[in-house]
Amino acid sequence: MFRSIVPDRAMFPTAYTYDRVFGPNCSTRQVYEEGAKEVALSVVSGINSSIFAYGQTSSGKTYTMTGITEYSVMDIYGYIEKHPEREFMLKFSAIEIYNEAVRDLLSHDTTPLRLLDDPEKGTTVEKLTEETLRDKDHLRDLLGMCEAQREIGETALNEASSRSHQILRLTIKSSVKQYLGRGKSSTLVSCVNFVDLAGSERASQTASAGMRLKEGSHINRSLLTLGKVVRQLSKGRNGHIPYRDSKLTRILQSSLGGNARTAIVCTMSPAHTHIEQSRNTLLFATCAKEVVTNAQVNVVMSDKALLKHLQRELARLENELKLPESASCTSHAEALREKDAQIKKLEKQLRELIEEKDTVQSQLNCLLKSDADDHANDRAAKRWDVHSRSSESLARNASEEALSVSDTYGGSYQDQGHAVFGESYVFSADHDDLSIPNQTMDLPQQTKVRKSISPWHPPSNYSSDGTESYNMKEVAFRSASEVSEENCREVQCIEIHEHRRSTSKEFNVLLHEVTKLHIPEAEDISRDAVPQPDEVPEAVSITEKMEDHIKIYPSKEERQAEIIANAVEGPIEVHQCESDDFADNFVKLYPCDSNISLDVGKPYPHECLTVKRCITSSKDSALARSQSCRASFMIIPNSWFDDSENTGQTPPGEIFRYPPRRPDKVRRSLYQGNDDCQNNNNSVDLSDMSTSDEVVKDMSTGGEVAKEWSANEAEQEVCVGDISCVTDLEQKAAKHHEDQPEEHQAEQQIVRDECAAVKTVKDVGIDAVPSSAESPSRWPIDFANRQREIIELWHDCNVSLVHRTYFFLLFKGDAADSVYMEVEHRRLSFILSSFSTSSAGGELNSATASSLKNMKRERDMLYKQMLKKLTNGDKEGIYARWGIDLGSKQRRLQLSRLVWARADMEHVRESASLVARLIDLVEPGQALKEMFGLNFTLAPRTQRRSFSLLGA
C-alpha cells in the first residue's frame, strides 16, 4: 500500500486493471499457467505469439521468463507427442540486443548482425543462426548456451543483472502427415518469442558508472521507445508508430502490433524505494493492455491447394465486381442528367450576361464620346494653364526642368500660340495681370505702373480692335509653324536655333525696314510714356565710357567709323523710342524673328513685335535644349528689370560690364556703377557697345566711337571673353556645387546670362563683319592655324568623326567663320583642359572612355557603310593612297580605323570626303553654321560627361 502525500501525484490513477495479478508468493508455474500458457501454446496452432517480461531491474524478469520458457517448451513438446498425425519441425534462434547491437547467442561470433526488411516476413536478422531442434534436450542445451552467452553484469541492485534484451525464438512448422507428398497438404508455420527485457533502472539506484552507465543508457532508451510504441498502439493505428526508433521495437514489430498474440508479464519490486519504477511499470502495463493485435493462423499451402484457393478467391471477387458495377452505371447516368441540366442553366445565364454587357458597353461608349467632346472644348484653356505655369516657372528659374515642360507641349504650339496670344496678350482687358507672365513676375512696381502707358499696352481703341488682333494672331501662328520646323534640325546635341538662321546682313536689312516704318509710330507715342534717349543719363555715361576706350585704341578710328555706320545705322531710330529700361526689354525682341516685316505697316507695329517676341521666346524654350539659347531670350530681360529696381536707370548694356572672369556673387555687381568697366579688357567693353542698343545709338550718333572699334571685332571679342567666362564660371560652379547649391544656381544663372549676352550680340548682327576686316590679309593664315589646332583638338578630345566632317566641310576659310572657329577652339580647349586638370578624374575618365567607345561605334558604322557606298574601284584607290596593302586581310576594317586618324591636311580632306560620302552628308552649303555656334550646353554637374562633342 502506498499513500501519496504529494498533491501532484493525484494526476496518476489510483487503480489499475489487468488480466491477472500475482503476488509475491505466487510461483512461476502459476504465473505461466494463468498468464502465459495459452498464448505460448498458440504457436502449435499456427499463430504467432510473444511473451514479454517487463519491469525494473532486479524485479524478477529473468527469473520469471526462464520458468515460463521452460514450461512452454515442455508443453509444446507435450502437444507434439499428443498429435502424432502431424509432423512437426522446430527451429530455435536466439539474439540479444546489447548497446543497440544485435548479437547471435547461438554463435560465438560477437559481430553485430544487421537487420533486414522483408516484405513478407517483416524485419529479419541477417545471418542469424537457426537451429533445428532434434528434441527437447537439444533445446535445453541451446537455452543453456544462450544464458551463458548473454551479457550479465553486477549492479548495486542485482549481482547478475541482465544488461541486454534477450529474444528466444522457437519456430514450429506442422503438417498433417496424411497429406504430405500429395500436393494437397497445408503447413502451419508460426513462432513464439520469449523476450526477457533488460530492466529499467536509475543510475543513482544501480550506482552504475562507466560501462554499466552506458549499458543503462541504452537500456533505458530502447525501453522508452518500447513504451512509445505501446502507448501509440494503445491509441489505435492512425498515427505513426515509431518501430524503427530502436532495434528492439523493429524486431518485435509483428509481436507488438501485428500478426501475433502477446502476453506481457510485468514484474515489480515491493520495496518502497522503487515506487516510481513500479508506477511506471503499471502505466506501461495499462497501455499494453489496450493494444489490439491481429493474430491469424499462418498457413502455407501446397501448389494445388494454393491453385484451388486462388480459383475460389477469383470467383468470389468477380461476383463482387459485377454487382457494384451495375449499381454504379445507374448512378452515373443520373449524375450525367443532372450535369446536363446544370450546363443548360449556366448557358442561359451566360447569354443574359453577354446581352447585359453589350448594353452597358454601348452606354459607356456614348458617355465617352460626349465626354471627349467636352474635353476638346476645354483643351485650349487647359493648355493655357499649363503654358502659364511653365512660363512662370521659366521666369523664376529659367531652369532646364521648367523649360522641358514647354517641350512636352511643343507639338501643339500652334494652338497654344493662338490661344495665348488671342486670349491673354491681346484681348485681355487686364494687361497688367496677363502680359508676358515670364517677365511681369519680376517687374518692379515702378515698371509696372509705367507699363500701362508703354507700347506693350496700346490705347484702348487699339486693344479692342479686332482687326489688329487678327493680324497678331497670324503672326503668332506663322512663328509657331517656323519653330515647329526647327524640331528636325538638331544634330549631335548641337542645336539649331531658329534665330540663328537669320544672318547678320538679313537682320540688318529687316531692322532697317522695321526702323523706317516703325519710327513714325514710335513718334506717335507719348514722350512721357517712352522717354527719349537724351533723357536717359546712363546713355550719356555709357557714351563717355566708350570714349574712354576709344582713347585706348586710337589707331582704329577711321576704319571703325565706317563699319559702325554700316552696322548700327538702322537701330538708331529704334532706340530713340526704346531707351527706357523697360522698353529695352522689347528691343531685344526684334532679332527673334526674321518675319518682323510682316508686322510692318500695322497701326501699331511696335506692339506686334513685342508680342510676337514673347510668344516666340516661349516656343523657343520648347524647342531648344541649350539653356544658353533660352537664356538669351528669357533671362536677360528679367535681369534688366530686376536691375532697374536696384540701379535705377542703369542701361541694359551694363549687363556686359562685369569682368568676364568674375567669380560668384558677380550678379549683384553686374549693374553697379561703371567702375568695373574701366578695369575690363577690351572685349567686355566692346560687348557693351555691340549689345546695348543704347550704346550703339550713342556710338552712331556720337560718331567718335566708330573711329575706334569695329563692331564685328567687338562681337568676336565678346564671344571669346564670354566663353572664357562661361568656362571659368562653370568650373567654379561645378567645384562649389555640392557645398553651395544656391550659389551654384546663381552662377549658372550668370553663365546663362553671359551666353545670352553673347547670343544677343550675334543676333544684333554685328558678327557678320569678320575680324579680317581689320586685317584681311592675315585671316587666311589665322584660319589655317586655327583649323590645324582644331583638328588636333578633335583628335585629343575624341570628337565625333561626323562632327569633324561637318565642321571641316562647312568652314573653309570664309571670314565670317572666325567666330565659329573660335567657339569650336574654345570648346575643345575647355574639354581638353577638363580632362587633364579637373579633380573629377573618375567622371572624366568615364567620359573619355565613353567618347572612345562612341568613336569606335562610328568607325564600325563607317566600316559597314563602305560595303554599300563604295565600289571596289573606290576602295582600291583609297587603299592605295592610304597605304593599305591590297593583299592584306580586313582592308575595309583597316580603312575605317584610319579615317580622321592623322592631322595632315591631305588626310583630313580625304577623311572628310570619305565620311561625307559614307553617311550621305548633306551638301555643306545646306548645313547650318549655327550648329557650331555659341550654343554651349551648360549641363548640370552630374551631366558633365555628356559633352556634346564627346558623346556625339
Ligand X SMILES: Nc1ncnc2c1ncn2[C@@H]1O[C@H](COP(=O)(O)OP(=O)(O)OP(=O)(O)O)[C@@H](O)[C@H]1O
Instruction: State the binding site for ATP.
Output: 55-62
> Helix 303-397 to helix 627-647 angle, to the nearest 10 degrees?
40
List the interface residues with ligand X, window 32-91 (CB under 6 A).
55, 57-63
Judged by DSSP in three states, 196 sits in strand
**Nearer Cβ to ligand X (164/680):** 164
b/e sequence 436-462, b meaning 16+ C-beta within 10 Å = bbbbbebbbeebeebbeebbbbbeeee
Q: Between residues 100 and 320, which has the closer beta carbon with respect to ligand X? A: 100
**Burial 681-717, CB ≥16 within 10 A → b, else e:** ebbbbbbbbbbbbbbbbbbbbbebbbbbbbbbbbbbb
Q: How buried is 109 (Cβ within 10 angstroms: 0-12 exposed, 13-18 middle, 19+ buried)?
A: exposed
Q: Which is nearer to ligand X, 58 or 393 (CB)?
A: 58
Residues marked as binding?
Answer: 55-62
Residues in the chain: 952
Burial (Cβ within 10 Å: 0-12, 13-18, ≥19) of residue 603:
middle
Shortest CB 61 distance to ligand X, Å: 4
Only one of the segments 13-21, 159-167, 414-422, 442-450 lies at the binding site for ligand X (rule: CB under 6 A); that segment is: 159-167
**Count, residues near ligand X per rule CB under 6 A:** 15
Q: Which of residues 8-37 bind ligand X (CB under 6 A)?
A: none
Q: Least distance to ligand X from the beta carbon of 73, Å? A: 19
| Candidate residues 149, 161, 193, 700; the one interacting with ligand X per rule CB under 6 A | 161
Q: Find the helix or strand (DSSP H, E) in which 117 lies.
A: strand 115-118
Name the closest residue to ligand X (Cβ): 199
Considering beta carbons, is residue 99 or 669 the nearer one to ligand X? 99
Of 194 and 413, nearer to ligand X (C-beta) is 194
Q: What is the smallest separation between the CB atom of 55 and ligand X, expressed in angstroms?
A: 6
Cα–Cα dist 88/117, whole Å: 27
Start-to-end Cα distance in the chain:
106
Distance in Å, CB of 231 to ligand X, minimum? 21
* Among 69, 72, 93, 158, interactor with ligand X by CB under 6 A: 158
Smallest separation, CB 261 to ligand X (Å): 23
Nearer to ligand X, 62 or 416 (CB): 62
Of 155-163, 443-451, 590-598, 818-826: span binding ligand X (CB under 6 A): 155-163
Q: Where are the alpha helices (DSSP H) in 671-778?
A: 675-679, 682-691, 693-702, 711-736, 741-764
CA distance 285 to 307: 44
Contacting ligand X (CB under 6 A), which of 49, 93, 149, 162?
A: 162
CB atoms near residue 174 (< 10 Å): 23
Give burial (CB, 10 Å; 0-12/13-18/19+) of 933: buried
Secondary element (H or E) of residue 176: strand 165-176
Residue 132 φ then ψ, to 5°: -85, 125
Question: Which residues lie below 8 Å from residue 907, measured CB to CB, with a gap of 6+?
Answer: 882, 901
- Residue 222 engages ligand X in binding (rule: CB under 6 A): no
Q: Give the nearer residue to ligand X in terms of CB position, either 63 or 409.
A: 63
Q: In terms of CB distance, is 61 or 387 closer to ligand X?
A: 61
Choices 157-165, 171-179, 305-313, 346-354 (CB under 6 A): range interacting with ligand X: 157-165
**Between 151 and 822, whose beta carbon lies closer to ligand X?**
151
Binding residues among 872-931 for ligand X as defined by CB under 6 A: none
| Binding to ligand X, residues 182-221 (CB under 6 A) | 198-199
Q: From the CA atom positions of the chain, what is the Rg in Å? A: 57
Place of cell 568697366: 677
689, 695 contact by CB (below 8 A): yes
Strands 165-176 and 186-196 come out as antiparallel
Nearer to ligand X, 223 or 766 (CB): 223
CB of 108 to ligand X, least distance (A): 23
Of 216 and 721, the one with the shorter C-beta distance to ligand X is 216
Write out the DSSP string of 584-637.
HHHHTTGGG-GGGGGGTTSSSHHHHHHHHHHHHHHHHHHH---HHHHHHHHHHH
- The minimum distance between CB 39 and ligand X, in angstroms, equals 20
Build a one-symbol-per-residue string for 112-151: x at contacts with ligand X by CB under 6 A, - elsewhere: ----------------------------------------
- Report, in Å, the least distance between residue 247 CB and ligand X: 18
Site string for ligand X, 253-282 (x = CB under 6 A): --------------x---------------
Integer CA distances (angstroms), 642 to 167, 434, 618, 667, 725, in order = 111, 19, 20, 11, 22
- Give the residue with the Cβ less far from ligand X, 56 or 748: 56
Q: Which stretch binds ligand X (CB under 6 A): 160-168, 230-238, 450-458, 550-558?
A: 160-168
Shortest approach of ligand X to residue 160 CB, angstroms?
6
CB of residue 34 to ligand X, shortest distance in Å: 15
Task: Kindly state the cell numbers that stand for 237.
Answer: 493505428
Report the nearest approach of ligand X to the CB of residue 227 (Å). Answer: 16
The Cα–Cα gap between 899 and 889 comes to: 17
Shortest CB 163 distance to ligand X, Å: 8
Footprint of ligand X (CB under 6 A): 55, 57-63, 158, 160-162, 198-199, 267
